[in-house]
Amino acid sequence: IFKAVGKVEVLEDASLMDAVTAVSGSGPAYFFLLMEEMIRVAEEMGLPSDVASGLVCQTAKGASILAESARLKNETPAQLRAKVTSPGGTTQAAVDTLKKLNFDRIITAALTAARDRSKELSSNNNRNPRHYRNTNARRTEWF
């Protein structure tokens, strides 16, 4: 079932599930939040709402397609970013601002909070067995 909507990863170490939850389970919300803010600012800059929304959605779609293609060629997101960032250009100005405002720390704090909350929830629920099945003694497959 899950393969129909995405990729299923097999974890050798079940203790990594909280990190998976922080990255992948909660991850779409992070992208949606970024999109919300990009749309809001685009509208404040004068773009009509439908144009702002369309541009942001297409930008997210294009970036996702490029990222997956690059991943298959062992290219990193940092390499992709460098390819689309002209020195001294508009993208460089925006990236420099994000770095100056500690974008990396914001992302670290958010994912850490999600991982820690996942740990709290799993310790309270003692990992509901419906969420996984043991395929052998060393491997757990998560859905």
User: Quick one: DSSP state of residue 8?
Assistant: P
Task: Determine contact, residues 57/35, Cβ cutoff 8 Å.
Answer: yes
Nearest alpha-carbon partner for 25 in 35, 16, 34: 16
Give the pLDDT mean for 16-32.
Answer: 95
Element (H, E) at 132: strand 132-136
On whether the 2-142 domain is CATH 1.10.3730.10, my answer is yes
Q: Where are the domains of the chain?
A: 2-142
Task: Determine contact, residues 10/20, Cβ cutoff 8 Å.
Answer: no
Query: Can you give the pLDDT at residue 47?
Result: 99
Which tens digit of pLDDT belongs to each residue from 45-68?
999 999 999 999 999 999 999 999
Q: With H, G, I as helix, E, B as strand and everything else as coil, classify residue 122.
A: helix
Q: Name the band, by pLDDT with cuts 50, 70 and 90, for residue 79.
A: very high
Least confident window among 21-25, 51-55, 135-139: 135-139
